[in-house]
Amino acid sequence: MTEYGNRDPDALVRRAGKRADTRQDQHFLVDDRVLDRIPSYAEGLDLAHVLEIGGGPGALTDRLLAVADRVTVVERDPDFAAHLRTEFADAVAADRLTVVEGDALDIELPDFTASVSNLPYGASSEIAFRLLPEGKPTVLMFQREFAERMAADPGTDDYGRLSVTAGHYADAELVETVPKGAFDPQPRVTSALVRTTPREPDYTVPSDDFFMDFLRAVFTQRRKTMRNAVRNTAHISGLGDPDAVVDAADEELMGARAGNLTPADFADLASLAYEVGQPEQGGD
């Protein structure tokens, strides 16, 4: 039986016959210690079918095959997709590995049970918010600044639209900071691993789409009071009558700034806005 979990990352890069292209946001994780720890953050998760976005030369793929029943890798680069099929031919033949060549933002995602991925930084936000609504746990690599904002609490400097949006779908925890030297070539920034655990929010919203538009709108003016933010961003939120929302809302909430409101506060305001602000668009 083929063993997995101990392939040398640098040797995998050599066998792939292709260096990372930083113009394509390729930075390969080559630190064995970090690679060996990543599966530990997925302990206790359902690993029947793990989705990996951006397999590259396959160092993380190798570690995932050691712990998961099945792995599907989505790889945009055709050369690396071909390499993965060759490098892990036994796993492909055993129906334990599927390599999908394509863009993770465009393809139809498989019915996975968890996602463990070293995401391409340029598309990490879009990919994360394609994965989170699926309601499956993840362990994802991001730029540290993004990770800190994703896991931030209300009232902190890092708290913002990203924090509220991520928290709408899952609890997010920064589990490890990863130095630049763990990658080849080295990125310009420090990275971090975030583990997300899906959950239902302890509030309700009239429409996920409207809630996200409302958040995007008011956080463009996070330094202003909510009173001004709601009035000034109707072109983003789609509100037809923002003054009606301001008049109907709690005065204390209207006097606060976005960075100090809890997700439940935003949900209450969005529900009110949906009801009295006559949004031009709304609903799923």
Q: Range with the lowest mean pLDDT among 48-52, 108-112, 276-280?
A: 276-280
- Does the annotation list 29 as a binding residue? yes
Q: Are residues 142 and 191 in the same domain?
A: yes
- Total domains in the chain come to 2
- Do 33 and 113 fall within a single domain? yes
Supply angle C-alpha 185, 86, 68, rounded to 5.
Answer: 80
pLDDT score recorded for residue 280: 47
With H, G, I as helix, E, B as strand and everything else as coil, classify residue 247.
helix
Do 61 and 136 lie in a common domain? yes
Distance CA 41, CA 45 (A): 9
In the structure, what pLDDT confidence band is assigned to residue 278 with cuts at 50, 70 and 90? Answer: low
pLDDT score of 149: 96
**CATH number of 154's domain:** 3.40.50.150
Statement to judge: residues 125 and 239 lie in one domain: no
SS3 for 215?
Answer: helix
- Residue 261 domain boundaries: 208-276
Q: Are residues 164 and 184 in the same domain?
A: yes
CB-based contact 11:25 (threshold 8 Å)? no
pLDDT at 268 over 80: yes
Q: Is residue 83 situated within a structural domain?
A: yes
The answer on whether 44 is annotated among ligand-binding residues is no
Q: Are residue 143 and residue 214 in the same domain, yes or no?
A: no
- The answer to whether residues 109 and 183 belong to one domain is yes
Judge whether 132 is annotated as a binding position: no
Determine whether the annotation assigns residue 232 to a binding site: no
Q: Strand ranges (DSSP E) for 119-216?
A: 138-143, 170-178, 183-184, 191-198
Check the annotation: does 106 bind a ligand. Answer: no
- 32 with 130, same domain: the answer is yes
User: How far is Cα of residue 227 from the mean position of the Cα atoms in its chain?
Assistant: 30
Q: Is 103 marked within a binding site?
A: yes
Residues 113 and 222 both lie in one domain: no
